[in-house]
Amino acid sequence: MATGPRAVVIGSGVGGLAAAIRLACSGHSVDVFEAADGPGGKLSEFRIGGYRFDRGPSLFTRPDLIEELFQLAGVPVEAHFRHQRLDEANRYFWEDGTRLTAWSDPERMAREMEARLGVDARRVLRYLERSADLMQSTGSTFLEHSLHAWSDLRKGDVPGAMRRIRWPELFGSLHDVNRKELGHDKAVQLFDRYATYNGSDPFRTPGLMRMIPALEHGDGVFLPKGGMYSITRALHELAERVGVRFHFNAPVERILLGPEGRSVQGVQVNGAPHSADVVMSNMDVVPTYRHLLPDTPAPERILRQERSSSAIVFYWGVRTVHPDLGLHNILFTKDSRAEFRSLFQDLTVCDDPTVYINITSIHEPGDAPTGRSNWFTMVNAPRDAGQFGPELIQRVRRQVMDKVQRTLGLDLSPLIEVEEVLDAPAIQQLTSSHAGSLYGTASNSPLSAFLRHPNFHRRTKGLFFCGGSVHPGGGIPLALLSARIAAYFANSRTHAPA
């Protein structure tokens, strides 16, 4: 067991788990305090009526970031976590009968778009090659390094990264870039949806977000054996193996600071102090300041930024297996502009929302009874501003079922035998995500990356931050990268043994 500097991690989401592992591997004595009764945060699971559902994230990319943690600990990953690369990334459906299978291989994807949409395959391939180039160069700079410390900025070669960015990619919108480079309405709509991967609006988020498709059409989409929750299970097992101690049903009440708030002293849990040299908050940065640091001046400009979108999820146990559906499926709205205007300006769900359906039982038969399917059925929803309630949920439920009927010719109403619903207020209650936003702040301006909270506190020694609400952003890969960045600073600033 490590006997070095004492570290406390607040929260056991994927970022908190990764940070705990990194701190323990660098010699810290680590305790994780979690308000829930188990690890995972949004990356959890539940079972109902013979069906298993992953509660939160359903898309898995960048498995190398998981493998990296096992390599760091010197533990064979195969004994704890297995996954496979899928040839197919998504299936796309439009109400006019157009259907398209998105392939992980970029050349195959380009040919598919030419065959289904009539878009020149060379044009699509150029688009995807540019996405990969940006992800490799600019993405590695802005996502894998701190943007808030000169030492890390120099290491990330920001000037070199900026030289590789075209003017429209930085100051134009993703939609405008897609419109210019792809031209076709459906092709534009398809690549616009990648803005939702960090809860943003394609009509405002910078064109630089065009790098996101490189994760699926190049690196590839992966399937974790045992579902997405197997990521949580594997990281929890690894953390315990390297000596991390977990305390569940143990919400942190306050972060304890030294004189004038210049250094951390630990945390308070159930009225009792727990001393620490390092405190790493995996909690959303807004409640971290509002509830755990009430006497510390908060970075109001950061905390008051526009929040990302949330979601309404219907977990349905369905008495059929639909032959047209794959693991990941998108049923597109007829009017994307109206959809995003509703999300970010009107703070509601439009009358014809895009519907995402994830069915893990296609690959994991144990996730549903024989001849049945577990539908994780989601629509993007706005942040919670008090507008959620039974009427909104029932309206959206009806709209989703109508969308499925019109697009797939399937009447769901007599086929649903179990149901659970998740919305923005429930997301906030379950995971302390401020306003139920899934990705912290939205990336709806060219400076969004620089306006996220840094992974360290500028004034308080020993206080660090990881997870989807701080740099570099939300989603599993970025949460894992945030843990890497935050642990790097924690180690360098406390002189933890290598």
Q: What is the mean pLDDT of the chain?
A: 94
Q: How many residues does the chain have?
A: 498
Q: What is the pLDDT of residues 175-229, one digit of tens each?
A: 999 999 999 999 999 999 999 999 999 999 999 999 999 999 999 999 999 999 9
User: Is 66 within 8 Å of 235 (Cβ atoms)?
Assistant: yes
Residue 384 has pLDDT above 80, yes or no: yes
Q: Find the mean pLDDT for residues 304-310.
A: 96
Q: Find the mean pLDDT for residues 232-241.
A: 98
Residue 3 has pLDDT above 70, yes or no: no
Give the model's pLDDT for residue 152.
62
User: Is 441 within 8 Å of 448 (Cβ atoms)?
Assistant: yes
Give the model's pLDDT for residue 498.
30
Q: Find the mean pLDDT for residues 220-242.
A: 97
Q: In Å, what is the CA distance from 334 to each residue of 198, 234, 243, 339?
A: 22, 40, 52, 9
Within 13 A of 459's CA, how many CA atoms are on the CB side?
Answer: 11
Lowest mean pLDDT among 57-66, 253-262, 427-436, 484-493: 484-493
Residues of the chain with CATH 3.50.50.60: 6-46+62-83+230-305+444-494
Lowest mean pLDDT among 87-91, 215-219, 376-380, 478-482: 215-219
Give the model's pLDDT for residue 355.
98
Q: Where on the phi/psi map is residue 356: left (φ > 0), alpha (ψ -120 to 50), or beta?
A: beta
Q: What is the pLDDT of residues 405-439, one digit of tens each?
A: 999 999 999 999 999 999 999 999 999 999 999 99
Residue 157 has pLDDT above 50, yes or no: yes
Residue 372 has pLDDT above 90, yes or no: yes
Residue 1 has pLDDT above 50, yes or no: no
Residue 163 has pLDDT above 90, yes or no: no
Element (H, E) at 83: strand 83-86
Task: Please give the CATH architecture assigned to the domain spanning 6-46+62-83+230-305+444-494.
Answer: 3-Layer(bba) Sandwich (3.50)
Give the span between the Cα atoms of 133 and 140, in whole angstroms: 10
Residue 160 has pLDDT above 90, yes or no: no
User: Is 373 within 8 Å of 321 (Cβ atoms)?
Assistant: yes
Give the model's pLDDT for residue 154.
63
Asked whether the CA dihedral 266, 143, 229, 81 is positive or negative, the reply is negative
Q: How confident is the model at residue 156 (pLDDT cuts 50, 70, 90)?
A: low
Q: Find the mean pLDDT for residues 375-382.
A: 98
Give the model's pLDDT for residue 496.
35
Q: What is the pLDDT of residues 33-52, one digit of tens each?
A: 999 999 999 999 999 999 99
Give the model's pLDDT for residue 153.
60
Q: How confident is the model at residue 150 (pLDDT cuts 50, 70, 90)?
A: low
pTM over 0.75: yes
Give the model's pLDDT for residue 2.
55
Total Cβ atoms within 10 A of residue 497: 11
Q: Find the mean pLDDT for residues 111-125.
A: 98
| Helix-, strand-, coil-residue percentages of the chain, each rounded to 5 | 45, 20, 35
Give the model's pLDDT for residue 345.
97
Give the span between the Cα atoms of 241 and 239, in whole angstroms: 5
